[in-house]
């Protein structure tokens, strides 16, 4: 692993006297080569993509804010969890930072870990996917068939903007579509939580052209969870591996005010959780990333706490 920064300083908190009353800060370990496979948290301290996309910057502080929010949560895992440090983008060279992120994700997958990447702007998704693609390419070189990677993105935005002019937090899935085509791999993308008010006709047309499974924010209700869950099951069945990407701005602004682009409506936490549990139960999730937490605009750590709860759910 060749991360830019590694510190365990964020991992501190309450210690309870009762036997077995452990919290994340008491069980998380610094990543080491000898560790058995587990969950590996990898930070992407970057908001260069948000800046290029004319959003409000501050997401580079997301990884540490997420660690601090996780630190005091109760520990229920049976397998280990590791902190693999941060990949940073402090010089504006987003593409180089994404490449370093990809190499680190690749190494974690090769070691048998489940990488959970803490962003950072949603440009994190392209770097994360690149690591998974390179890992699976190694398997193709060993004689396996081309992989079918399914991307499931919970997000108010498609992030399918034209990447030919500039790479940003608005282009990662368009970049992935291009790279998939260059490799001769299928592009399988589902985006749930889309705000029609925040995505242009051109983006909806692009999603249709690429065969994206789309569910808008207003479509995700308690009455539709079973139907949408069945659609996700069918999507997952056609994939060999799932890249789960969660843009925290999919939550309503009242639950997640500290993001780069707050959602006026969004999808409530209580509706998001059962869909994530369903995906976790599939056993096909190989990579998870969280994007757009902006602690500079958070209120009482509300957004960090919501995201930490989702990480906790996915870690069980």
Tell me the pLDDT tens digit for each residue of 277-310. 999 999 999 999 999 999 999 999 999 999 999 9
291: three-class secondary structure by DSSP = strand
CA distances from 117 to 4, 13, 41, 46, 104 (A): 14, 22, 6, 12, 10
CA distances from 292 to 63, 71, 288 (A): 10, 20, 14
d(CA 135, CA 201): 35
Q: Helix crossing, 62-71 with 302-315: angle to 10°? A: 70
Q: Using 50, 70 and 90 to split pLDDT, how confident is the model at 33? A: confident
Report pLDDT for 138. Answer: 84
pLDDT over threshold 90, residue 257:
yes
Cβ neighbours, 10 Å, residue 244? 22
Report pLDDT for 284. Answer: 98
Cβ–Cβ < 8 Å for 50, 96: no
Token look-up 């939580």 returns 193
Q: Using 50, 70 and 90 to split pLDDT, how confident is the model at 5? A: confident
pLDDT tens digit sequence for 188-221: 999 999 999 999 999 999 999 999 999 999 999 9
CA distances from 126 to 176, 230, 234 (A): 6, 27, 24
Report pLDDT for 140. Answer: 74
d(CA 244, CA 67): 19
Report pLDDT for 143. Answer: 75
The average confidence (pLDDT) of the chain is 96
Token look-up 């902006």 returns 294
Q: Helix crossing, 94-110 with 124-141: angle to 10°? A: 50
Q: Using 50, 70 and 90 to split pLDDT, how confident is the model at 2? A: confident
pTM: 0.97
pLDDT over threshold 70, residue 122:
yes
Q: Using 50, 70 and 90 to split pLDDT, how confident is the model at 1? A: low
Quick one: tokens of 113?
């870990």
Share of the chain above pLDDT 90, in %: 93
CA nearest to 247, candidates 211, 177, 294: 294
219-239 burial code (b ≥16 CB/10 A, e <16)? ebeeeeeeebeeebeebbeeb
Q: Using 50, 70 and 90 to split pLDDT, how confident is the model at 236? A: very high
Q: State the alpha helices, DSSP H only, in 87-200.
A: 94-110, 124-141, 172-183
Q: How far apart are the first and last CA of the chain?
A: 25
Tell me the average pLDDT across 74-90: 97
Report pLDDT for 112. Answer: 97
State how far Cα 253 lies from the chain centre.
Answer: 19
Cβ–Cβ < 8 Å for 71, 13: yes
């Amino acid at each position: 692993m060749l991360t830019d920064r590694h510190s365990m300083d964020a991992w501190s908190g309450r210690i309870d006297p009762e036997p077995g009353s452990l919290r994340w800060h008491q069980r998380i370990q610094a990543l080491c080569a000898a560790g058995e496979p587990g969950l590996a948290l990898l930070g992407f301290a970057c908001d260069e993509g948000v800046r290029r996309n004319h959003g409000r910057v501050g997401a580079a502080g997301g990884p540490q804010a997420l660690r601090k929010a996780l630190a005091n949560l109760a520990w229920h895992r049976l397998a280990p969890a590791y902190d693999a440090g941060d990949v940073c983008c402090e010089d504006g060279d987003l593409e180089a930072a994404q490449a370093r992120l990809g190499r680190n994700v690749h190494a974690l997958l090769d070691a048998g870990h489940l990488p959970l990447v803490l962003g950072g702007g949603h440009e994190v998704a392209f770097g994360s996917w690149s690591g998974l693609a390179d890992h699976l390419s190694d398997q193709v070189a060993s004689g396996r068939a081309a992989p079918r990677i399914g991307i499931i993105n919970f997000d108010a935005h498609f992030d399918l903007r034209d990447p030919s002019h500039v790479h940003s937090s608005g282009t990662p899935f368009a970049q992935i579509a291009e790279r998939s085509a260059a490799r001769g791999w299928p592009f399988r993308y589902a985006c749930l939580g889309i705000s029609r008010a925040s995505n242009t006709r051109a983006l909806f047309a692009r999603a249709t052209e690429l065969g994206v499974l789309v569910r808008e924010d207003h479509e995700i209700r308690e009455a539709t969870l079973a139907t949408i869950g069945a659609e996700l099951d069918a999507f997952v069945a056609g994939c060999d591996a799932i890249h789960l990407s969660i843009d925290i701005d999919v939550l309503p602004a009242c639950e997640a005010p500290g993001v780069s682009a707050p959602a006026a409506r969004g999808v409530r936490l209580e509706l998001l959780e059962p869909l994530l549990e369903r995906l976790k139960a599939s056993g096909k999730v190989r990579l998870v990333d969280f994007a757009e937490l902006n602690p500079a605009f958070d209120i009482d750590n509300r957004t960090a706490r919501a995201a930490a709860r989702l990480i906790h759910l996915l870690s069980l």
